[in-house]
Amino acid sequence: MNRIFLGALCALVLVGVGMFWWQGRAEVEEGAPPPLALPAEPSEAEIPVSDAGDITGPAPPEATELTREQRRFFRYDQNRDRIISRNEMLSSPTDAFRKLDQDGNNLLSFEEWAVATAARFDGADRNRHRELTPEEFATTRPKPAAKPVCRC
């Protein structure tokens, strides 16, 4: 019996709280400010007109055409002093992975890479001053791939 009485009392309390909440919310909505009026669309006379006249902007910069060898040289020459130091040459990545992988395990150790790159640098450095000029660097150019013969 106590459970029924307690359940009915809780239900009445919940209904009362709901009524007060609903009435309080309705009062807030009644006192809310009216919605703002939308601005009228501007007439044609109110729209500003801009006429550039004979004004011209600056000319776009022109790109210089570099040869393939110059682009390859500047890929290695990181500080753009037109000289490739040994550190610049050794720090660049290489695409000839299979040529560098001496033991054929498909893993390139640092030693394999460093020995091949150092030998390539030393072969190109003709005057042995440990820097490559553009002419010396041109000797490190990869050999062009042979075109396959068409077997028609």
As a whole number, mean pLDDT of residues 64-93 equals: 81
Residue 101 contacts residue 107 (beta carbons within 8 Å): yes
pLDDT at 54: 76
CA nearest 138: which of 47, 92, 76?
Answer: 76
Residue 121 contacts residue 89 (beta carbons within 8 Å): yes
Residue 127 has pLDDT above 80, yes or no: yes
Residue 37 has pLDDT above 80, yes or no: no
Structural domains in the chain, CATH included, are 68-138 (1.10.238.10)
pLDDT at 27: 55
Residue type, 127: N
Residue 77 contacts residue 83 (beta carbons within 8 Å): yes
pLDDT at 28: 53
Residue 129 contacts residue 86 (beta carbons within 8 Å): no
pLDDT at 2: 84
